[in-house]
A = this chain, B = another copy of it.
Amino acid sequence: MFSDIKGGGVTASLGFRASAAWGDIKGSGKRRLDTGLLFSDTPCRTAALFTRNAVKAAPVIYDAGILEKNADNIRAVLVNSGNANACTGKEGLEACFSLAKEAASLLGAPSSSVLTASTGVIGEPFPAGKISAVLGVLAGSLSDENGAAFAEAIMTTDTEPKEAAVLVEGPSGHYVIGGCCKGAGMIAPSLATMLSFITTDAEVPSELLRRALSEAAAVSFNSVTVDGDMSTNDSLFLLSGGMSGVKIDEKSYPAFRDALSHVCVVLAKKMAMDGEGATKLVTIRVKGAGCAEEARLCASKIANSPLVKTMFAGCDPNWGRLMASAGASGAVFDPAKTDIFFNGLHYVKGGVIIDRGLEKDARSVMAGREYEITLDLHAGSGEALFYTCDFTADYVKINADYRS
């Protein structure tokens, strides 16, 4: 049993505080929050998932090293937007170490308890000095009311902060899971340019914490795409502080995992909906595939196809593109048995359109801000979901002009 906490985010869990400041990281002089600090009053067990890109940003390399040794004693995460600290060589990595050390000293915590995360332009020198300059402000303004400001500080081309939180009611008491994320460009399978921070005041053993994060990510952040690219910086953190006093064990694990999955799905959908230039959130559901993996391949291929995504922008039920994408996915199926639905509207049956008169109805489904397309391949019982958005001319504009 869980319920959404309206307006809740990363500080909704007991014992977590946050802050945000303007460090002019991008050097544009434009006044906006671009640095943040998340702090836990107690040492946290921490699980994390990072990009599988061979080119990893400095904070990803730094954090992986910290978590290898000290995953059960994390106290803080220092974040910035405006510069990814990726492709920045030795200097970039040294900046992570020195900033973590500085932050730790201000917070009265060990250096090895501070993680870092960055997002923004790749390949620009990392302005460590600017972050250092605001560390005092960040450490001095920590509050459990600053979750939203923290969520704002990690935004890049995002148009709005993304937060979610739930209150879980269990037999041994109540606990909270809360989080925030940034997405927008380059979101894709494998967590592409996504930063996400999730906290809980439940006490979760390390092994269950890792398992829950991996299971929740599979149905959320790893099932969302904006442009099929995978970034150098993707990071997903889950911190368990334990201040609620509720302990998760094998028996209460399913409820914890389901509540965590819900928070992750809400955040992932917000990312897809806020994809660069996007105006629509489209859920691709593939059922009847030979196996779950083929269903996922097929849903992902459709969700990533520029031809399909431009068709969403045009509200055009050009179902041939859905068939062609499914056919190119590697999933094994008989096109002559395939059914397609737009929300509840049965549009294609056995590989052919049921009635051309239905096109108007399909168009009106597609005119909505949020809808679901289902392909039933009738080849087995494999099923998968993927969240995607439309591909508009604004996506191109945003990305052609991103640095200027």
Contacts and interface: CB of A to CB of B under 8 A. Distances in A.
Contacts of A401: 314, 316
Contacts of A185: 307
Contacts of A224: none
Contacts of A328: 52-54, 190, 192, 229-230
A79 B329 CA distance: 27
Q: How many copies does the complex hold?
A: 2
Interface string A356-394: 000000000000000000000000000000000001110
A89 B332 contact: no
A121 B356 CA distance: 15
Nearest to A400: B314
A352 interface: yes
A327 B122 contact: no
B392 A327 contact: no
A351 interface: yes
Interface string A287-331: 000000000000000001111001101101011110111111101
Nearest to A320: B122
Contacts of A316: 400-404
Nearest to A338: B55
Given A229-B305, A232-B324, A351 B89 contact: yes
A227 B325 CA distance: 12
